[in-house]
Amino acid sequence: MPIHATAVVDSRAELGVDVEIGPYAVIEGKVQLGDRVQVQSHAVVRGQTTIGADSRIFSFACVGGDPQDMKYRGEETALVVGQRNVFREHVTANRGTSHGGGVTRIGNDNLFMANAHVAHDCVVGDHCVFANSVAIAGHVLVQDRAVLGGLAAVHQHGRIGRCSMVGGGGMAAQDVPPFTIAQGDRARLVGLNVVGLRRAGFTREVMSALKTAYRELFQAGMPLRIAAEQVRAFYSDVPEVIELVDFLESSQRGICRSVGSPDAADE
């Protein structure tokens, strides 16, 4: 277990097999590091934080820090991270808050590039990519295989749907539906994430159905509620389309509108 002589490791920490901790790294509190986790020089892992096997934390990252929330009063909360995650230089991922459920959760196989930030009480799925300097506020949900381009940001309580993409510099003040691309300030939908869907193994038939559903929902000029009802009825046998409609109908913050559509949300 190669732990550098200058590393500081709390006696309460639990370390798995073949964990590596570099020079001047700090492991503070009830931290659990899974097998083969690497913590590079000057990185910090603190609090009640669990890091899954084969994850890597690069220099100057701070994982498991206190939530940046005015209501936080030092209560014990947690950060739970799955396997094979990569936290590059200066990434921050904060624990949850008691009023938000107490736990920030990150799934498996995610890449957080330099300076990215995951705030308190967020939930990040699997196979997501946060490019350089991406920031998501508290209580944000990022579903599987979402990609956030450099300098993108997501408003608190926002949702980023499965296999969607927020373009570089995009400011997502409302929910970004699954399978779509949103960009700009404030972010608007510009189409389906065709490349992402291909990479995720979507069939040509499913992608065709999603393209038609997208046009009906966001470009036909109908109120979103009525369009969603029609699309649900027509594509009841396509689970991906139903997933898209379910996401729209469950939105609390409203949906990013398509380029060229009115600003006001439809009833």
Percent of the chain with pLDDT over 70: 97
| CB crowding 206-220: b at 16 or more within 10 Å, else e | bbebbeebbebbbee
* CATH code given to domain 8-192: 2.160.10.10
Rounded to an integer, the average pLDDT of 91-115 is 96
| CB crowding 98-113: b at 16 or more within 10 Å, else e | eebebbbbbbbbbbbb
With 60 as the cut, is the pLDDT of residue 265 above it? no
With 90 as the cut, is the pLDDT of residue 260 above it? no
Bridge partner list, 51: 33, 81
Predicted structure pTM score: 0.96
Residues of the chain with CATH 2.160.10.10: 8-192
Of 2.60.40, 1.10.3470, 1.20.1180, 3.30.980, the CATH number of 198-249 is 1.20.1180
pLDDT tens by residue, 1-36: 599 999 999 999 999 999 999 999 999 999 999 999
- Catalytic residue numbers? 120-121, 138
Q: Which two tokens stand for residue 247?
A: 């996401």
3-state class of 2 per DSSP? Answer: coil
pLDDT tens by residue, 207-245: 999 999 999 999 999 999 999 999 999 999 999 999 999
Nearest of 64, 67, 83, 84 to residue 75 by alpha carbon: 67
pLDDT tens by residue, 150-178: 999 999 999 999 999 999 999 999 999 99
**Which pLDDT does position 1 carry in this prediction?**
59
